[in-house]
Amino acid sequence: MTYVIGAACVDVMDRSCMEECPVDCIYEGARKLYIHPTECIDCGACAEVCPEEAISADRAADPDHRLDNRRFFEEPLPGRPEPVGSPGGAAKAGAIGVDTSLIGAV
């Protein structure tokens, strides 16, 4: 099980979840944050501190957002030739600055 950030994060991005994450697996798009599905250690610390209640376990998340979260890492994002992949931590990658097409359409 991993965690997924849903629609309540769009255009809010409080970032308290990023500060709480012990493994630095929450990445920043342009309008939303994304949790790396293989870097997440399933501790739930991010969900506990999210003031928007935007974070849920993947099996409880909206299927569209669960799939969208994976796409952020596995498919090239608009304007980027390569997928984000697994950079080994959000701090290494810095703000990605672009979102998936699902979030871009909202």
Domain limits, the chain = 3-104
Structure tokens at 103: 């979030």
In this predicted structure, the answer to whether residue 103 has a pLDDT above a threshold of 70 is: yes
Domain 3-104 classification at class level: alpha beta
Where is average pLDDT lowest: 18-22, 33-37, 39-43, 62-66? 62-66
CA distance 64 to 13: 19
How does residue 73 score in pLDDT terms, banded at 50, 70 and 90?
very high
